[in-house]
Amino acid sequence: MQYRPHISLDVADLEAAVRFYCAVFGVAPTKRYLDYAHFRLESPALHLALVVNPDRDLRARGNEHFGIELFDRDALAKWQGQVEATGIVPRLEQSVTCCYAIADKFWLTDPDGHEWEFWVRSDEADSMHGQGQSTIRVPEPVVCCATVAAAAKISCCG
């Protein structure tokens, strides 16, 4: 392994969060204190930190989520089975189009409302969601290395 992404999540109830992530990852935290715990995982390569922050409105977030891309359906089914065996009920999606890809996936929501997506991509898609062609056009390329005279003809801001 050459790198391990790090995610730090604010949580309201550390005990509930630790129970959830123990069930999801199948291991105990690597480090644990009264106000902090982290999972330093090899598979997936991930350093997940849980930080108690009772003052933050954890549910007032945008559309962000976290995900783990798997590379075959057997791995997805194994992970889903492991999670279901702990009593967590995932939200399933089959052959969905999302983010210009078609995938089978399941979703989990931790006790603080953080969503996790586990998926296997089966194909590329021509749209962000649903079916059909994208209505969003790819912008013209920006010329970053143009001469001053050429750059003066390009309007980046208006």
pTM, entire model: 0.71
Select from 83, 119, 117 the least CA-distant residue to 104.
Answer: 119
- In the sheet that holds 6-11, the strands lie side by side as 6-11, 46-52, 36-41, 31-32
pLDDT tens, position by position, 103-113: 999 999 999 88
Q: How crowded is residue 102: how many other Cβ atoms within 10 Å of its Cβ?
A: 14
With a cut of 90, say whether residue 144 has pLDDT above it: no
Taking the CA atoms of the chain, what radius of gyration do you get in angstroms? 20
Q: 72: buried, middle or exposed (CB in 10 Å: 19+, 13-18, 0-12)?
A: exposed
Pair type for strands 31-32 and 36-41: antiparallel
DSSP 72-107: SHHHHHHHHHHHHHTT--PEEEEEEEETTEEEEEEE
Fold classification of 6-124 is: 2,3-Dihydroxybiphenyl 1,2-Dioxygenase; domain 1 (3.10.180)
Q: What confidence score (pLDDT) does residue 29 get?
A: 96
pLDDT tens, position by position, 42-82: 989 999 999 998 776 666 665 578 989 999 999 999 999 99
With a cut of 90, say whether residue 15 has pLDDT above it: yes
Q: What confidence score (pLDDT) does residue 129 get?
A: 75
3-state secondary structure of 46: strand
**H or E stretch covering 14:** helix 14-25
Q: How crowded is residue 26: how many other Cβ atoms within 10 Å of its Cβ?
A: 13
Q: What confidence score (pLDDT) does residue 149 get?
A: 43
**H or E stretch covering 23:** helix 14-25
